[in-house]
Amino acid sequence: MTAASDAPSDDDQQDTADVLVEIRDGSDDLLDIEPDSETIATTYDITSYGVDYDVTGIIRRMDIGDIVVPSFDPDNPGLDVGAFQRGFVWRRNQMSRFIESLLLGLPVPGIFLVKDRDQRLLVLDGQQRLRTLHSYYEGTLGGRPFRLTGVQEPFAGLTYAHLAPEDRRRLDDGIIHATVLRDESESQSQNAVYSIYERLNTGGSPLQPQEIRIALFPGSYLRGLTEINKSTAWRDLYGPKSARFRDHELILRILALNDWQDRYRKPLKSFLNDYLGAHRDDALSAAEGAGKTFLEAAAIIDSQLGPSALRPERALNVAITEAVFVGVMRRLESGIPLGEGELPAAHEALMENRAFQTAVTSRTSDEDNVDARLDAATDAFA
């Protein structure tokens, strides 16, 4: 048995962070957010194996979309518009010397790939090397011919098309070793792959949870979320768009809790992965279903309560926001219209509810507190 300690536990520290962590997110408003340090506590059925690809094989696979640098843009799933090594871009000389190493027959560092449910190979580590190769084979870099610079003769100044035949063959046959990781579990949540990205990406700016989901779960549901995120009423309530998709994630969180409250279990990251994995190919539209209800709730909350109702202390409180939205959405789903002045009075009573206050200010990811605040909001607006 270990000795007792007055030091806060990891859970206590995390739940304090739920309430106090604030970031500046493209505006002067502060956002009160869930901690990104939340851990998915489980073991995984992961296999890994090594593959030696020749350079032409890699280029061909990139061209047909079998090897993909994941996108963090839900408008362009699968396109190379993000990068795991955020903020790290090779200079032209670095790129040229990497190509030169292959031309000289020298070994180069390996890459890490993750095989997803669609059998694509997503680049976890090595995107600069692969982008360098792809650009050199295409022949252009930044709109100009990609000529090797800072390298020895006879390669200096040459594009791929101008290489001597023997040098071109040596480059084509160059070997890059890949370590391929795969989640062998039956779950659609891809929690193992999610954790691999979260733990092993080597970027200068750590990936945020929703950025990883956008890479892993491209489909009609995420595209619908993107459209809903543009809503005028939602933008008024939330504020300027988040460069790291926190607004995108908050809509997902509201929809998931409204739909799957009875299935919610910590950690939140895993819950959202499960929900998105189950719905990734479902249509989410502003014209019908949950998307329409969310937008109607946003319009009512914006017009009758305003943004300040979600910001008791200037910062947007995520726990309050999800509860108010779920409560109003469930009232709309019941088919009973909200009377004039009914919503402000119900909101005021909700904010004075002591159980609700506790549920939105401490241990906000605990199942009991999630249920308490959603049930309180549902009752208040019923």
Residue 289 structure tokens: 């279903």
3-state SS assignment for residue 107: coil
For residue 264, pLDDT over 90 is answered with: yes
What is the pLDDT at residue 28? 32
Q: Is the dihedral of CA 358, 360, 364, 366 positive or negative?
A: positive
| Shared-domain flag, residues 21 and 74 | no
Task: Show the domain range for 114.
Answer: 46-183
CA torsion angle 281 286 289 290 (round to 10):
80
At a CB cut-off of 8 Å and minimum separation 6, what does 147 contact?
157, 158, 159
**CA–CA dist 363, 358 (Å, integer):** 9
Verify cis geometry, omega within 30 degrees of 0, for the bond prior to 154: yes
| Shared-domain flag, residues 244 and 363 | yes
> Is 188 contained in some domain?
no
What is the pLDDT at residue 291? 97
3-state SS assignment for residue 318: helix
What is the pLDDT at residue 42? 56
What is the pLDDT at residue 240? 92
Q: Using DSSP bridges, classify how beta strands 140-141 and 46-54 pair: parallel, antiparallel or unpaired.
A: unpaired
| Shared-domain flag, residues 275 and 364 | yes
Q: Residue 303: in which H helix or E strand, if any?
A: helix 289-304
| Shared-domain flag, residues 131 and 16 | no
What is the pLDDT at residue 193? 73
Q: Per-residue pLDDT tens for 90-142?
A: 889 999 999 999 999 999 999 989 887 778 898 878 888 998 999 999 999 88
Residue 31 φ then ψ, to 5° = -110, 130
| Shared-domain flag, residues 31 and 111 | no
- C-alpha of 381 from chain center: 32
Q: Per-residue pLDDT tens for 357-371?
A: 999 998 999 999 999
What is the pLDDT at residue 218? 79
Report the candidate in 338, 326, 360, 316 with the shortest Cα–Cα distance to residue 258.
Answer: 326
| pLDDT-above-70 percentage for the chain | 80
Q: Per-residue pLDDT tens for 198-238?
A: 776 545 456 778 888 887 787 899 999 999 999 999 999 99
| Shared-domain flag, residues 287 and 372 | yes
- For the range 35-39, what are the long-range contacts, defined as Cβ-Cβ under 8 Å and sequence gap of 24 or more? 36/206, 36/208, 36/209, 38/14, 38/267, 38/268, 38/269, 38/365, 39/267
> Is 202 contained in some domain?
no
More confident residue, 8 or 150: 150
| Shared-domain flag, residues 145 and 257 | no
Q: Per-residue pLDDT tens for 49-82?
A: 999 999 999 999 999 989 988 765 666 544 443 3
Looking up tokens 């252009």 gives 140
| Shared-domain flag, residues 233 and 116 | no
pTM above 0.75, yes or no: no
> Is 308 contained in some domain?
yes
